[in-house]
Structures are given as C-alpha cells and as structure tokens.
Structure 1
Amino acid sequence: MQKTILIVEDEDILREIVKDYLLNAGHEVLEAVDGSEALAIFEEHEVHLIILDIMLPELDGWSVCRRIRKTSNVPLIMLTARADEDDTLLGFELGADDYVTKPYSPPILLARVKRLLDSRYSPAGKLSNEDTLISSGIHVHFPSRKVTVDGENISLTHTEFEILTYLMQNPGIIITREQLITKIWGYEFTGDDRTVNSHIRNLRHKLGNKANSIVTVIRAGYKFEGNA
C-alpha cells in the first residue's frame, strides 16, 4: 500500500535514516527541515501521514500540529527527545495520533506508521463489516470516515475516530483503558491512562450534547450507552 509520507525533522542524518526505511517499505517520501517548510509542502501535496519532530526551527512541532489540525485529520506521529509525559499529553490534546520518544528504533517507527496507515486507509482496518453505525444521533460512515452528530458534521482525528467506533461497536460493555491502548496503539505503546483520558476528553468535547453517550466507569474504563 504505497502512500506519501511527510517527514519533518531538522536532524539530517536521522531524517535520511527514516526516509530510507520508508522508501524500502514502498512509500513515497517528502521532507521538511523546519515547521514553515512542512506547512508549505503539506499545502501543495497530498500527504497520507506525517512524522513530525517537536523541536524544530522557525515553527515548532506543536504549532505545526495545531495548524494542520485546523483543516486536516491526516494521521500524525510526533517525535520527541524529551521523555516528558506532559509533552506527550499536549501532543495528543493538539490532535497527534501517536508519539515516539528519541532515541528510537526505525523499525519500531515503521511499525507505528504501518499500523496507522492500515487502520486509516485499508478496508481491512474497518472496525465493522457494515458501512455505517448509528446510535443516539451519532452517525458514522466508515468508507468516508465521516461522523455527524444530529446531522452536523464533526471533525475527528484518526485516533478519536477509532476510539469512538470501538466503543460504539461494543455498546453497554465496559472497555478498560488497557483494552483501548492495545486496540488503538498496540502492545508496544508506552503511554499511560492519562493518554486515554486526554483523547476521551477531546472526543467528548467534539460530541457536544452527545458527550454523555461515553460513560466513565470509575476504576474500570469506559462504555458507550446510546439508542439506535
């Protein structure tokens, strides 16, 4: 499944290593060395996934992520040299789908890329054999990944979409945070409960008056309660 991936990294050697891995995996690669260049490239090309370093000249990764999320839900992986949970949570709050802490193994990064691309673009990544899910005024159309609430379109990131559909397909069933982490990010993910909480908070905000469809079960997890 060849896709176009934008690498935004100012360290030349690291960017070249990641580029080689992606090219060997059959992808097309675009490169940017700073935030301003990244935004310009993103405007000019169809990009299927972004690998975005946080510490960049001119515009940092936070600013780039914030601007991209105003117009696009393209899958986005953030790279950070700081093992700081607050940095990670800020990235998720701004709409990042995943993060990788430096130094990292390029094959691990490639595995993260593959999982995001498969779940976002491959038919095999659908969470249902049906084209649509409808419950409590929330309507999900899988082929277009379009979500409406009482007829109004809402814009979800890749991860928010995956969480919502996973919960909706298991109505009334308590889904633990560990189950969500395994389902959405995979076994090797190193985040914690706060990561899940951050995405749920963002998702509820976007659902507006349907936010209470996602119920917190104290010391257990979350469940979706709605009516068809």
Structure 2
Amino acid sequence: MGEKTILIVEDEAAIAESIAFALRKEGFEPRHVTLGEQALAVARERAPALVILDVGLPDISGLDVCRRLRQFSDVPVIFLTARSDEIDRIVGLEIGADDYVTKPFSPRELVARVRVILRRAGAGNGAPAPAAPDRAPRFELRAPEARILFAGQALDLTRYEYLLLKTLVEHPGHVMSRAQLMDRVWSDAPDTLDRTVDAHIKSLRAKLRTIDESADPIQTHRGMGYSLQTSA
C-alpha cells in the first residue's frame, strides 16, 4: 500500500462506502475490511498511511486492535465510535489513537481530519517527514498543584481555563472539537453553550501573550476545533 492508502475497518457497509467515496474524491485509495483480525493482518503485510477504525467490531474491540497495532506500527489511527461515554474516548487516545469521531458524522469532516493528521505526520507527499529539531517544551503541567507553566512562568487561570488548557496540553497536536472539549471540561455544567469554548480560548490566548507577545500556540482549525503546539 502506498502513502495514499487509507485502511477502513468498519463492519457497517453503508458507513464504509460513504467514507470510501469521500476519500476517493480527495485522491486517496481506500481499502476496506470488516474485522479487526483482518485489519491487523493487512497492516502487518504493509502499513497504510492511516487507519480509520470502528470501536465496535464483530470479532474484537477496536480498542484491542489499536493496542495490538501499536506493538508493531505507529500508523495514525482515527477511531469511529457510537459511544458518548467520555471514558471510552480518553482510553482510545491513551492507547495510541490520533483522533476519534462520534457517529453520526460527516464523511467530509472525517476526510479533513485525515488530511490534518497526515500533514502532521509528514505523510501523503511521497517523502519521509524531516526529523524535528530539538525544542524546549513551552508548557509544564503540574497536575497535583493544578498549575500550568508557560515559558517557565505560572499562568493565572480560572478553573475552566485550567481544565481547558490542561486538556490541550495532554493531547499535543490533536485537533479537538468543541464537543470533545465540552465533554472533558464542562462535564459538570451540561447546560453550558459550546461557544463558551471560544470565549475561554480567547482568554487563554490573551494570558499567554502577556508572557510572550508573539506566542500563538493554540491553533484554530476552521469547522473542526482547536489544537495545541507545545514546543517553541
């Protein structure tokens, strides 16, 4: 498989076909399997550029597929899940997934996420990604103290600003949607509007710039969400 090949692991034919159609329109080469064991066999034979992996497969859990995949490959993984339970999402990211999308979803949005992840991984251009230079971390999370340092200075944060920035720091480079951030940060305030995420992002950016005027580590991905660049 080449750098344009995307492996779809999904047992629902209609969903797989819609994803494959959207991928082909953008120049990718989708390959579809319905079982986790099939996916592992394909990936062992020759790794695709990225794996779109359903959590609820008929033979083994997508979480187990990802765990086993990580034993021999660092291919990027996007989870598809019908579950809204936050713990499933966190576990998915902790075991090595790069992103997740909750059903129902827009195939076009999914393909956009594929492009972002491949760009971040340096894939899809026919050349290996250049080695990243050594960079000093700009953020230091001190969870026991509920503090975050930026460029060596402690940030004066409200509770929700702290939880929001902590979530981004813990998932560097991951594009996180407003819904994902709401689930993690405002889980105790279900009536909060998702636009509050934007307001808190604006506040965080202002506080970061009081330490470094040129700093803009929080990246906006239009129509998708936010990500954090943690190195200078």
- Matched with 2:98 is 97
For the pair shown, the structure with the greater C-alpha radius of gyration is 2
CA distance in 2: counterparts of 1:24 and 1:33, whole angstroms:
22
Alignment of 1:138-177 (within 5 A): 167=139, 171-172=151-152, 176-177=165-166
Listed one character per residue, the Cα deviations across residues 155-190 of structure 1 (whole Å, up to 9, x for unaligned) are: xxxxxxxxx7x759x743668337658972336353
Please give the alpha-carbon distance, in whole angstroms, between the structure 1 residues aligned to 2:139 and 2:123. 20
SS at match of 2:59: coil
Counterpart contact for 2:7–2:30, Cα < 8 Å: yes
Give how far 1:101 is off.
0.4
> CA separation of 1:45/1:65 partners in 2, compared to 1, >3 Å: closer, same or farther?
same
Return the alpha-carbon distance in structure 2 between the equivalents of residues 173 and 193 of structure 1. Answer: 27
CA displacement 1:59-105 (0-9 Å, x = unmatched): 11011000011122111100101111011011112111111000111
**Could you tell me whether the CA contact under 8 Å between 2:139 and 2:169 is conserved in 1?**
no
Q: Deviations over 1:127-151 (max 9, x none)?
A: xx9942066xxxxxxxxxxxxxxxx
Closer, same or farther: CA 111–173 of 1 in aligned 2, 3 Å: farther
Distance of 1:23 and 1:186 partners within structure 2: 23
Shift of 1:108: 1.1
Read off the aligned partner of 1:89 and give its amino acid letter: I
Cα RMSD of the aligned pairs, angstroms, is 3.7
Percent identity of the aligned residues? 37
Contact 2:83 2:102 in 1 (8 A): yes
Query: 2:152 is aligned with what amino acid?
Result: G
1:195-214 mapped onto 2 (5 Å cutoff): none
Offset, 1:33: 0.3
In structure 2, list runs of 5 or more residues that go unmatched.
Answer: 141-149, 156-164, 186-207, 209-227
Q: TM-score, normalised by structure 2?
A: 0.60
The secondary structure found in structure 1 opposite 2:24 is helix
Shift of 1:195: 6.4
Aligned length: 166
